[in-house]
Chain A
Amino acid sequence: MTNTLEIKNLTVILEGRDKAPLKIIDRLNLSLAPGEILGLVGESGSGKSMTALSVMGLLPPGVRISQGEIFFKGRNLTALTPEKLRSLRGLDIGMVFQEPMTALNPVFTVGRQVAEVYTAHLGLSKKQAWQEAVTMLGKAGMPDPARRAGHYPHQLSGGMRQRVLIAMAMALNPALLLADEPTTALDVTIQAQILALLGQLVQEEKSACLLITHNLAVVAQMAQRVAVMYAGRLVEVAAIEQMFSAPLHPYTQGLWACLPAQARAGEKLPVIAGTVPSLGEVPPAACSFAPRCPQALDLCRQAEPALLNLNGDRRVACFLRHQERK
C-alpha cells in the first residue's frame, strides 16, 4: 500500500534580499501511512509548521522549497500547478489551525462556511450543502447544530469555533488531515473534548493525520508515532511507546526530563542549557544540537550525523547512539 504522505529530502529556504538564503527545513524525510497519526514535535522555530505549509503549498512569500519532493498518494505535490493543488486542499487534504478566530471569516455564518466546502468541491446546491453542513457540524460535536449553523464566529466560544474548523476539514473525508496546534488556544477540559473528537473522526474516516504540537502530552494521547524536529532537522523518529519510555537523542532526552510532570513538586527541574538557535545560527556541517548538548563529542562539531535506522522504524540522528550500536 502506498503511503498517504511521503516527504523526501525536503529543504525549505527563506530568501533574503541581499543575504544568503537561510534554511528553515533541512533535508526532511517523513512518511505517513493511511489511518496513522504522526506527532510532529518541536519548539518554536524548529520548522514544524513550515512542514505543514509546504505540504499544502501555502508557504509565505519569500519562503520556497529549494529541494526535495512531497508525494501525496503517490502524486508529486511539488510538481502540481497552484490550481491543481487548490482543488486537493479541502477535498483530499484537510487542515485545522491553532487560532480558530482568525481562520474563520467573521462576516459569514459558520454554516455557510462549512457549506462552501460542499458547493466548491462537490457542486451541491446551496440548500443541499447547508443540510450537509448541519449534519457535519453535528458530527463534530456541535450542540444544536441546526441553530448554531446560523451563528457568526464571534457568537461562538473558542471550543465551538474549533469544532467548526474540524467540521470544515473533515467534511469530505480527506485522506490526509494536517492539524497545527489544534488545541493550544483552548481550555484544558475543552482540549480533552477536541482531542477525543479528532481521534474519533480520524479513526472513522481512516485518514492519515499529521499532528503538529509543542505539547508532548498531546502527542502521547493521540499519536502512534512521533517525530522530533530541532532547528529545521529531524533528530529522532520512533513509535510512541519507545519514545516515551526511552528517548535516545540528547535533545529529546532533555525535553522529556524538563517537564514538571516528571519531577517532584518544588524541586529544580533539569534544564537544557542555552536557547534554540535562530535561523542562520545553525552550524552547517555539524550536529545542530551540539552547542547545547551535554554529551557532545568533537566529532559532533565537525560533521552532521545522519538520521539512521537503529531497529525497525526507530531513527535517530546522533553520533553517540550510532557508535553504541556498532
Chain B
Amino acid sequence: MPLLRLENVSKDYNVNQGFMAGRGIRLSALAGVSLTLTPGQTLALVGESGCGKSTLSRLALALERPSAGRVFFSGQDLNALSPRRLRALRTQMQIVFQDPATSLNPKMTVREILSEPFIIHNRKENMEEEIIFLLRAVGMAPEQARLYPHQFSGGQRQRIGIARALALRPSLLLADEPVSALDVSVQAQVLNLLLTLKEQFGLTYLLIAHDLSVVTHLADRLAIMYLGKIVETMPAAALESFAGLHPYTQALWRSAPSLTPGRKPPPLTGEMPSPLAPPSGCRFHPRCPEALSLCAREEPALQEIGPGHFRACHLEARL
C-alpha cells in the first residue's frame, strides 16, 4: 500500500483582496495532480516558485483541504477523518523547514524545543532519554540540550529541526528545501545526515526543491512541476537518458550552472506565466523551444514512456 497517494487533487484560492476584490477570480495553484509515494521511497518535487510544490505539500500533510480530489495517507482519506483521528495520524508525518533560524523558537532551549512534540501528543514517559537519543542521532552532544538556538551555527540548527521532526518516529518526513539556506560545506554534512537517518529510522522522504542538482543526490524518484501541474515523474536515474525528457525538465537541468568552466546560453527565455491566467493547451508551450501548433490547443496527458517514467508532452518520445 502506498504511504501517500494524491488522486486528481486540485487547489484553487479565491483572489478577493485589494484591487482584485469582488471580481470572483480564482487562482488555480494546483490542477488535477496525482502522485504516489511508496514506503521507503525518496521523492523530490522540483519546480520554480509558483509551480504549486508548496501547495501540494500542505495538502499532503492535511494542513489545507483540496478543492477537488482526495489525499490518502496509509490508505486513509485525510479529509474524511475526524479531527481527533487526524491529529493522531499527524505524528506519522513531520516537517523539516527551509530556514532553521526562523523555525526554532528563540526563547526555548533545545531541550524545550525537543520536548514539545512529546508534550503535545502526550507521550511524556522516557522523554529525557528520548531527547538524548535524538540529539545523538543527529550528531549532537546531549550537553547541548541546555543551549538556545542562537548559540548554534546554521547547520547545527538544522540538525535540531531534524531531531524535532523525528521525535514521534514519523513514517513520512517532508523536507522543504532542507539545505538551500546552508553553506556549501555544511550542506554536505546535512545531506549525509538525511541519508543516514533514512536507514536508521526507516523513513520515507518527500523533498521539495527548486534546483535539481542537490535533490538528485538523495531522490529515487522525481516529480517535475510547472504552473500547478506535474509535467513529468520518473526514476532519478532517468535524468541520464536526457533526450527523452520533458523539455521543461531538460531546461531545468541545463539552467543549473555546472562546474565545467565556460559560458552557456540560458535554455529558456521569459518567465512562468501567472496562475491567474494559465496558457491554453500545454501550460509550458509559450516558453517551450520545441512547441508544436498542437501544444497551444490541446493539453497533453501524462503518458508512460519508460518503466515508471511518465511525461506530459506532445513531442514524440525519443527514448
Contact = CB atoms under 8 A, between A and B. Distances in A.
B75 interface: no
Interface in B191-218: 191-192, 195, 210-214, 216-218
A258 interface: yes
Contact of A258 (B156, B185, B211): B185
Interface in B252-301: 252, 254-271
Contacts of A81: none
A191 B185 contact: no
Contacts of A325: none
Contacts of B254: 192
Given A192-B257, A221-B257, A266-B195, A258 B267 contact: no
A237 to B, nearest CB: 15
B49 interface: yes
A112 B189 CA distance: 46
- Secondary structure at chain B's binding surface: helix, strand, loop or mixed? loop
Interface of A is mostly: helix
Interface in A212-226: 214-218, 220-222
Contacts of B49: 158, 187
Interface size class of A (residues with CB under 8 A): 35 or more
A215 B184 CA distance: 8
Interface in B158-208: 183-189, 191-192, 195
A189 interface: yes
Contacts of A102: none
Contact of A190 (B187, B219, B271): B271
Contacts of A199: 263
A221 B263 contact: yes
A276 B211 CA distance: 25
Interface in A184-229: 187-193, 195-196, 199, 214-218, 220-222
Given A43-B184, A220-B260, A240-B261, A265 B236 contact: yes
A258 B156 CA distance: 18
B217 A263 contact: yes
A217 B217 contact: no
A215 B257 CA distance: 9
B183 A214 contact: yes
Contacts of B262: 220-221
B255 A275 contact: no
A195 B256 CA distance: 11
B266 A196 contact: yes
Shortest 4 CB-CB contacts between residues of A and residues of B: A258-B188, A217-B257, A187-B48, A192-B266
20 contacts: A43-B184, A187-B49, A187-B210, A192-B255, A192-B256, A215-B257, A217-B258, A221-B257, A222-B263, A240-B261, A244-B260, A254-B185, A255-B185, A259-B259, A260-B188, A265-B216, A268-B192, A269-B188, A269-B191, A275-B156
